[in-house]
């Protein structure tokens, strides 16, 4: 045991330190030479091959369905206007009466002076006989059905175009703003939409769907939107609007979702919208050729659902195209959004 401690253990320590020293010298002066291959070759350098992602033209059923964040608004009062220069002769209905579109509201009277009649007797005396004015009357009718409120008094002078009354229909509409992309998708909009009011009645169909520029301060003068239900507009906001059925109970200011379905195509050739430059009527895709090089190709477009777009002409099923338009900005992937547990 004494020999082991005095001779064997010290010898093992020396051997271990020698191995460590040789290894350190190799790392310091030997570099990262590869164990095989060309002895003169340097260390391996990292490398990567980047390929643009591709997608295949496939067939699918595509539905052009647009969902809007909407609001319930009270339909504005409709203005009745004077259609003759004159004075208010008399009213046909009382203030606050319930009228039907086309009902008589009031009568305007116009008096036009006439030249007097001159006559000469046998002795040459001239007699001037005044004549009563020419009288013209016209009726102002209700422009809509609802409750009438007058803004003029009897015998008040008015001019053509002056507001003489308003009719409040007591009905409601669904109103939602459209983005430029949604405007293109609804160029051939249907006449109705599906509405859902959270916490309200069952989903229902609204009718008389229209799209157009919102009425601003300088908009159409014959309709006065409910100011509390609509935000101010500069006249450039495009909106979709449809009427709530009379039997459905709603209130101004309620939020709603308005779903407008404008066409469906079955077994259509489709591509992701990211693969197409342009999304209305015409576009461009980059088809991958046999040599692997992309080739720019014009295509004719049909419906889109916001994720896929119908290709009417220009490519065939099975063609490979670049998944992203060259040069287009691609939103970075948020790893926390994909896996909430990473937060």
Same fold, 66-75+170-262 and 79-168: no
- Report, at the CATH architecture level, how domain 54-63+265-327 is classified: Beta Barrel (2.40)
The reported pTM is 0.64
* 75: CB partners within 8 A, 6+ apart: 169, 170, 171, 172, 173, 226, 243
Task: Give the residue ranges of the chain where pLDDT is below 70.
Answer: 1-6, 8, 28-50, 215-235, 328-343
Tell me the per-residue pLDDT of 126-143, one tens digit each, with 9 for 90 and over.
888 888 899 999 999 999
pLDDT at position 68, please? Answer: 96
23: part of which helix (H) or strand (E)?
helix 9-29
Name which CATH class applies to 66-75+170-262: mainly beta
Alpha-carbon distance of 142 to 100, in angstroms, equals: 7
3: part of which helix (H) or strand (E)?
helix 2-3
Tell me the per-residue pLDDT of 83-93, one tens digit each, with 9 for 90 and over.
999 999 999 99
- Report, at the CATH architecture level, how domain 79-168 is classified: Beta Barrel (2.40)
pLDDT at position 219, please? Answer: 40
The full set of domain ranges for the chain reads 54-63+265-327, 66-75+170-262, 79-168
Tell me the per-residue pLDDT of 136-187, one tens digit each, with 9 for 90 and over.
999 999 999 999 999 999 999 999 999 999 999 999 999 999 999 999 999 8
pLDDT at position 307, please? Answer: 92
DSSP secondary structure of 132-197: PPEEEEEEEE-SSSEEEEE---TT-EE-TT-EEEEEE---EEEEEE--HHHHHHTTT--SEEEEE-
Tell me the per-residue pLDDT of 319-336, one tens digit each, with 9 for 90 and over.
999 999 987 665 554 544
Alpha-carbon distance of 118 to 21, in angstroms, equals: 142
């Amino acid at each position: 045991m004494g020999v082991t401690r005095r001779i064997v253990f010290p010898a093992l320590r020396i051997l271990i330190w020698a191995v460590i020293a040789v290894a350190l010298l190799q790392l310091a002066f030997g570099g990262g030479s590869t164990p095989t291959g060309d002895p003169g070759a340097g260390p391996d350098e990292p490398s990567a091959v980047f390929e643009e992602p591709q997608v295949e033209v496939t067939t699918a059923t595509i539905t052009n369905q647009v969902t809007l964040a909407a609001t319930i608004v009270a339909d504005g009062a409709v203005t009745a206007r004077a259609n003759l220069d004159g004075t208010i002769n008399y009213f046909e209905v009382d203030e606050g009466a319930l009228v039907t579109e086309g009902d008589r509201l009031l009568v305007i009277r116009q008096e036009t002076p006439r030249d007097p009649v001159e006559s000469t007797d046998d002795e040459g005396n001239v007699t001037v006989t005044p004549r009563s004015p020419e009288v013209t009357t016209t009726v102002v009718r209700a422009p809509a059905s609802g409750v009438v409120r007058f803004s003029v008094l009897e015998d008040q002078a008015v001019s053509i175009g002056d507001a003489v009354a308003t009719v409040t229909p007591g009905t409601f509409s669904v109103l939602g703003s459209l983005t430029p992309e949604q405007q293109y998708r609804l160029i051939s909009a249907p006449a109705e939409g599906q509405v859902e009011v959270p916490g309200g009645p069952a989903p229902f169909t609204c009718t008389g769907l229209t799209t157009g520029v919102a009425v601003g301060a300088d908009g159409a003068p014959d309709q006065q939107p409910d100011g509390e239900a609509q935000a101010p507009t500069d006249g450039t906001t495009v909106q979709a609007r449809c009427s709530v059925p009379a039997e459905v109970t709603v209130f101004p200011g309620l939020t709603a979702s308005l779903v407008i379905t404008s066409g469906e195509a079955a077994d259509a050739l489709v591509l992701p919208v990211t693969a197409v430059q342009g999304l209305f009527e015409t576009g461009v895709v980059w088809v991958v050729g046999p040599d692997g090089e992309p080739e720019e190709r014009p295509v004719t477009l049909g419906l889109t659902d916001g994720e896929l777009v119908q290709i009417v002409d220009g490519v065939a099923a099975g063609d490979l195209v670049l998944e992203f338009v060259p040069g287009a900005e691609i939103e970075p992937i948020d790893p926390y959004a994909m896996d909430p547990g990473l937060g």
